[in-house]
Amino acid sequence: MTPLLLSSYTATTCLGSGLEATLAGLRDNRSGLKPCVFETVTLDTWIGEVVAVDAQKLPKNLIRFDCRNNRLVQLGLEADGFAERVREAIARYGKSRVGVFLGTSTAGILQTELAYRRCDPVTGALPEDFIYRSTHNSFSLAEFAREYFGLEGPAMAVSTACSSSAKVFAAAARQLACGTIDAAIVGGVDTLCLTTLYGFASLQLTSPEPCRPYDMARNGISVGEGAAFALLERVPAQPSSGSVLLLGVGESSDAYHMSSPHPEGLGARLAMEAALRSAGLPASAIDYINLHGTATPANDAAEGKAVVALFGDQVPCSSTKGATGHTLGAAGAVEAVICALAMTNDLLPGSPHTKTRDPAIPLNYQLISRSGKVRHALSNSFGFGGSNCSLVLGVTP
Amino acid sequence: MIQTPLMAWIEGIGFIAPGLNDWPATCAVLRGEAAYVAAPSLLPAPSILPAAERRRASRIVKLTLAIGLEAAVHAAADVSQLATVFTASGADGHNCHALCEQLATDDRLISPTRFHNSVHNAAAGYWGIATKSMAPCQVLCAYDASFGAGLFDALGQVVVDTQPTLLIAYDSEYPEPLHSKRDTPDCAGVALLLTPQMTAHSLAQLTLRSTAEKAQKMADPDLENLRTAIPALRVLPLLQMLAKGESGTVCLDYLAPMQLSIDLKLC
């Protein structure tokens, strides 16, 4: 593909809001995970909760979008001056020339879960104040962002479970390549809700401890929440030093099972190969891999096999979900931003909570963050339904 | 900035809507050769699935397999190699209702199958398993604008990645109490197999541009009702041109104020 510039980017997770907090957390091997105290949930698990999400007040004219998920959209957009960079891009290109491509798995389903508790005892009707379109619907976060910036161009939500906000980069890149738009707001937002917490628990995939990706004794995920965004534009003739570029995107399907990965990681391998092909780079050019690494026994084993088969056992790699939790539909964008931080700060992120590497997975897995040159990074995101996406990012010298 | 036209050839069409059981039957109604008779959508049992899976298949899985395979058969395409773009205004409404209903009680031990079927890409996941396709599979939502969003991305894949891409745009109904908040009446959908080159199977060449014009309406009030009630059926004015064998330009609803202007050239 033709490389694209991430002219601005930001991430908000349980590590903190914005790049500075995220970078400090990664450098200090900090984890933002805490025992689950959320809403009325009574599960023995840990979560990655973003603080002060519900303190966000949406603009009056957009109050119909008010729900935890869209509050996190706003919190995320306003971090690092990202919203200001978007407004400058709109001024440059026009309001119909900036597209919106946002990923989510559950959008504002929490709003519906809460509304179902308030159904009319006689008629069974949902409460008057519940608005499906602007809270529950998968498009609600993209529509909110489009209206937040007064945009009039194309917009779509990608919802492929935990690969959603990696695949937004592919969708946006295609429209930038065709010239439909001149810039794209890409990203992902997912928030804690009962569906995912009880859902992953029903599959016995939540850990009673903080998640330990790629640990010999890993025993499940820690559900997190997050918002991460990037502004994608064409690369100028002379990009400034330290510019982060999207170099390649690879997508594939497992065609195997709805909630279990292909045991040999075949779909994962196809996605990584496609991303390298798209970037025009050999496997040896990758300096760091941000693994999907959810910390379930099956997921890490399958991904590990695919990574070893393609990259061997030398490339430094880690999953950062021990720090952020699994932010589900936001994971792709969160981890793309973590790769950007790795490349621009010479940082190889570690894996908080992981103690003992799994000897069955021979990878150069980073337990502790350390400094190291990263010119090209690869980020993996895989989801239910066998949806796989890998991104290759680079930095200008 | 030079714009690359969002252009593709249509090689196959699949269609199911209330009272319209497949593309040939729909063609006859769109041409005015048969009267539209309202009836619930007929969702055939997916023969591609093993017997046990066939019995368990949900309404959206039956719908998407039926229309996707109808379009592929029309084009004699190998579904195991096809990239796909699924686009829907919502996921499985019945499954969503069952989860929300149970999560509102004290017994929150939901079924793991219900949970993995709750993802917006559930139908796409079953498509992959049924067709054994490991090709890229995109799954989108843009509320009432979902058909347009899907067409943008599918054409992007045809043009940029130069690969045949199967667009499957579909919707389904919610039961009460969600139905009162989102009143999509029934399951319906359209599948278009789009290719970068003209072949012996090509039906027409399609080129997409954005416009601010108003979308064309269906003259028949029943068909116009379908067009507005079910987001995927915003495609109907385009399908009517294909059915009648007319070349020309048609405007479809997308995301106000952005609309789709489509040039259609019959092969």
Q: For the segment B236-259, what is each residue's pLDDT rounded down to a tens digit?
A: 999 999 999 999 999 999 999 999
What letter represents residue A87's amino acid? R
Q: Using alpha carbons, select from A284, A281, A283, A250 the residue that is nearest to residue A267.
A: A250
3-class secondary-structure state, position A77: helix
Q: Using H for helix, E for strand and C for coil, what is the string for A20-47?
A: HHHHHHHHCCCCCCEECCCCCCCCCCEE
A64 Cβ partners below 8 Å, 6+ apart? A131, A133, A134
Closest residue of A to B147, CA-based?
Answer: A156
A387·B133 Cβ contact <8 A: no
Active site residue A211: no
Closest residue of A to B119, CA-based?
Answer: A161
Q: What integer pLDDT is reported at residue B4 of this predicted model?
A: 84
Q: What is the mean pLDDT of residues B96-123?
A: 96
Residue found by looking up tokens 């890998």 in the block: A390
Residue B118 tokens read as 């709750």
Q: Which DSSP letter does residue A139 get?
A: T
Count CB atoms within 10 A of the CB of residue B162: 10
B3 Cβ partners below 8 Å, 6+ apart? A178, A179, A180
Q: What integer pLDDT is reported at residue B55 of this predicted model?
A: 82
How far away is chain A from the Cα of B36, in angstroms, using its nearest Cα?
31
Q: Using alpha carbons, select from A259, A100, A160, A279 the residue that is nearest to residue B84.
A: A160
Q: Please, what is the end-to-end C-alpha distance for chain B in angstroms?
A: 30
- The answer to the question of residue B209 being in a domain is no
Handedness of CA A86, A327, A372, A265 (dihedral sign): negative
Q: Which residue among A162, A211, A317, A339 is the active-site one? A: A162
Count of structural domains, chain B: 1
Nearest to B128 among A146, A154, A253 (CB): A253
Handedness of CA A103, A105, A109, A110 (dihedral sign): negative
Compute the distance between CA of residue A317 and CA of residue A328 in angstroms, rounded to an integer: 20
Q: Which residues pair with B265 in a beta bridge?
A: B205
**Does residue B257 have a cis bond before it (omega within 30 degrees)?**
yes
Count CB atoms within 10 A of the CB of residue B42: 16
Q: Which domain range does residue A248 map to?
A: 4-395
Residue found by looking up tokens 């880690």 in the block: A318
How far away is chain B from the Cα of A317, in angstroms, using its nearest Cα?
25
Stretches where chain A sits below pLDDT 50 are none
Active site residue A292: yes
Give me the helix-helix angle, B236-244 and B23-30, nearest 10°. 80
With residue A274 as reference, give the H or E element that holds it.
helix A266-279
List the CATH number of the domain containing A154: 3.40.47.10
8 A C-beta contact, residue B66 and residue B46: yes
Nearest to A112 among B100, B110, B126 (CB): B100
Q: Which residues pair with B152 in a beta bridge?
A: none
Nearest to A180 among B6, B101, B178 (CB): B6
Is the predicted ipTM greater than 0.90, yes or no?
Answer: yes
Active site residue A257: no
B110·A255 Cβ contact <8 A: no
Q: What integer pLDDT is reported at residue B1 of this predicted model?
A: 57
- The answer to the question of residue B164 being in a domain is yes
Residue B151 tokens read as 């067409």
Mean pLDDT of chain B: 96
Q: Which residues in chain A touch residue B112, judged by CB atoms under 8 angstroms apart?
A: 199, 202-203, 259
Q: Which residue among A136, A262, A292, A353 is the active-site one? A: A292
Q: What integer pLDDT is reported at residue B2 of this predicted model?
A: 61
A142·B177 Cβ contact <8 A: no
Q: Using alpha carbons, select from B14, B38, B40 the residue that is nearest to residue B27.
A: B14
8 A C-beta contact, residue A185 and residue A101: yes
B139·A159 Cβ contact <8 A: yes
Compute the distance between CA of residue B21 and CA of residue B39 in angstroms, rounded to an integer: 10
Residue A197 tokens read as 């917490």
Q: Which domain range does residue B226 map to?
A: 6-203+221-245
Nearest to A126 among B115, B119, B180 (CB): B180
- The answer to the question of residue B11 being in a domain is yes
* Low-confidence winner among A323-332, B43-52, B115-124 (lowest mean pLDDT): B43-52
8 A C-beta contact, residue A157 and residue B142: yes
Q: Using alpha carbons, select from B219, B170, B202, B188 the residue that is nearest to residue B75.
A: B202
pLDDT, tens only, B187-217: 999 999 999 999 999 999 999 999 999 999 9
Q: Using H for helix, E for strand and C for coil, what is the string for chain B?
A: CCCCCEEEEEEEEEEEECCECCHHHHHHHHCCCCCCCCCCCCCCCCCCCCHHHHHHCCHHHHHHHHHHHHHHHHCCCCHHHCEEEEEECCCCHHHHHHHHHHHCCCCCCCCHHHHHCCCCCHHHHHHHHHHCCCCCEEEEECHHHHHHHHHHHHHHHHHHCCCCEEEEEEECCCCCCHHHCCCCCCCEEEEEEEECCCCCCCCEEEEEEEECCCCCCCCCHHHHHHHHHCHHHHHHHHHHHHHHCCCEEEEEEEECCEEEEEEEEEC
Q: What integer pLDDT is reported at residue A203 of this predicted model?
A: 96
Cα–Cα distances in angstroms (integers) from residue A159 to residues A156, A336, B62, B65, B121, in the given order: 10, 17, 20, 19, 6
Residue found by looking up tokens 């950007």 in the block: A340
List the CATH number of the domain containing B238: 3.40.47.10
**Res. B54 pLDDT band, cuts 50 70 90:** confident
When scoring B103, B126, B129 by the number of chain A Cβ atoms within 10 A, the one with the most, hence best to mutate, is B103
When scoring A4, A180, A204, A206 by the number of chain B Cβ atoms within 10 A, the one with the most, hence best to mutate, is A180
Closest residue of B to A151, CA-based?
Answer: B257
A156·B141 Cβ contact <8 A: yes
A160·B121 Cβ contact <8 A: yes
Closest residue of B to A136, CA-based?
Answer: B90
What letter represents residue A359's amino acid? P
Count of structural domains, chain A: 1
Residue A272 tokens read as 């990584």
Q: Pairing mode, if any, of strands A16-17 and A4-13?
A: antiparallel
Count CB atoms within 10 A of the CB of residue B37: 10
- The answer to the question of residue B212 being in a domain is no
Residue B247 tokens read as 């070349």
